[in-house]
């Protein structure tokens, strides 16, 4: 379900989160539901502000009980340094809010302040777990991608996320026998499992979306402007891709040190190479 826009980015709410909010509202916990949504929105706002500052375009964010899942505009935002900074701003924001309200509570008469502190504390700490799609998993994925490539790193971290989801569900089932709070844990585990499974598809989505748009332009017009570059084999792929644009197709002519043409690499091959080999991939790896 679409909520609107936050700093220019489309916001959606996960159906299970919406159902959970309605159930708790019906049980008379409307104020708590609003505080949870406020904490999640502030958490995601921190991510989006950081992304905008680093010029990483985010297309859409889906709100989940433990944060959000973002679709980047295209693959060019997948740089380890940028992804690490963007991922850490969310937990940092949540933990900072928890600390500020903790110290302000004795001096201000704030209703539900303790609950808001707890929610932000849990949101910040939970998101530091090193599994996708949580922020800690994005940080670890960014570092692993330097050596394993984005595809393999994403697959491994998403698999850990699914395992964590199953573990939460089992824990929730155990807790349900002693208290109804176990139902919350089961739901959180189910959403984590589903989100982790979908995370691997988002990377492929950005790649396919970028190329499909160009193929569509080629099919409609019968031609597409090309930008040609001459490169040595040891040039980093990400350096070349920084010059890519949706308005033209990128072709790279590879030459040796004695200026002999060794071959040509297409934009699709460059992108696939970046995903497979990571940010340290060179033209020769393609």
Instruction: Specify the pLDDT at position 167.
Output: 93
> Could you tell me if 118 and 38 lie in one domain?
yes
169 assigned to some structural domain? no
Which residues are 71's β-sheet partners? 60
Which residues are 236's β-sheet partners? 282
Instruction: Specify the pLDDT at position 160.
Output: 92
> Could you tell me if 241 and 208 lie in one domain?
no
73 assigned to some structural domain? yes
Instruction: Specify the pLDDT at position 273.
Output: 82
State the Cα–Cα distance between residues 269 and 150, nearest whole angstrom: 15
Instruction: Specify the pLDDT at position 227.
Output: 81
Instruction: Specify the pLDDT at position 99.
Output: 93
> Could you tell me if 240 and 112 lie in one domain?
no
Structurally, how many domains does the chain consist of?
Answer: 2
Query: Mean pLDDT, 10 residues at a time, over the chain (286 residues)?
Result: 72 78 78 86 88 82 76 63 90 94 76 86 93 90 81 86 91 78 79 83 63 64 78 85 69 86 84 79 85
Rounded to 10°, the helix 30-53/113-126 angle is 50
Which of 187, 213, 239 is the last residue in one of the domains? 213
Instruction: Specify the pLDDT at position 97.
Output: 94
186 assigned to some structural domain? no
209 assigned to some structural domain? yes
User: pTM for this one?
Assistant: 0.74
> Could you tell me if 252 and 121 lie in one domain?
no
Give yes or no for a contact between 67 and 123, defined as CB atoms under 8 angstroms apart. yes
Q: How many CB atoms lie within 10 A of CB 52?
A: 15
271 assigned to some structural domain? yes
To the nearest 10°, report the CA torsion of 44, 48, 50, 53.
-170
85 assigned to some structural domain? yes
> Could you tell me if 254 and 209 lie in one domain?
no
164 assigned to some structural domain? no
Domain boundaries, position 207: 2-153+200-213
Which of 213, 237, 264 is the last residue in one of the domains? 213
> Could you tell me if 8 and 126 lie in one domain?
yes
Instruction: Cite the active site residues.
Output: 44
> Could you tell me if 206 and 98 lie in one domain?
yes
Picking from 178, 182, 179, 160, the residue whose alpha carbon sits closest to that of residue 170 is: 182
251 assigned to some structural domain? yes
> Could you tell me if 48 and 137 lie in one domain?
yes
> Could you tell me if 97 and 130 lie in one domain?
yes
């Amino acid at each position: 379900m679409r909520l609107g826009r936050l700093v220019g980015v489309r916001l959606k709410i996960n159906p299970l989160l919406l159902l959970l909010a309605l159930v708790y509202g019906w049980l008379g916990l409307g104020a708590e539901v609003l505080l949870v949504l406020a904490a999640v929105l502030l958490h995601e706002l921190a991510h989006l502000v950081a992304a905008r500052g680093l010029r990483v375009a985010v297309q859409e964010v889906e709100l989940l009980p433990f944060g959000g899942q973002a679709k980047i505009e295209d693959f060019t935002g997948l740089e380890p340094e940028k992804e690490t900074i963007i991922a850490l701003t969310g937990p940092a924001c949540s933990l900072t809010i928890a600390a500020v309200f903790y110290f302000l509570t004795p001096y201000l008469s704030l209703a539900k302040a303790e609950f808001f502190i707890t929610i932000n504390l849990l949101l910040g700490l939970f998101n530091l777990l090193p599994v996708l799609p949580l922020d800690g998993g994005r940080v670890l994925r960014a570092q692993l991608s330097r050596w394993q490539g984005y595809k393999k790193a994403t697959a491994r971290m998403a698999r850990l996320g699914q395992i964590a989801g199953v573990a939460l569900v089992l824990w929730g089932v155990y807790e349900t026998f002693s208290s109804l709070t176990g139902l919350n844990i089961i739901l959180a585990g189910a959403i984590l499992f589903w989100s982790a499974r979908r995370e691997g598809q988002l990377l492929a989505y950005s790649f396919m979306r970028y190329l499909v748009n160009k193929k569509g332009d080629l099919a409609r017009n019968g031609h597409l402007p090309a930008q040609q570059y001459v490169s040595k084999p040891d040039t980093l792929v990400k350096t070349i891709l920084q010059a890519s644009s949706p308005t033209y197709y990128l072709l790279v002519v590879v030459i040796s040190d004695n200026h002999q043409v060794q071959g040509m690499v297409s934009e699709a091959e460059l992108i696939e190479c970046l995903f497979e080999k990571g940010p340290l991939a060179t033209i020769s790896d393609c």
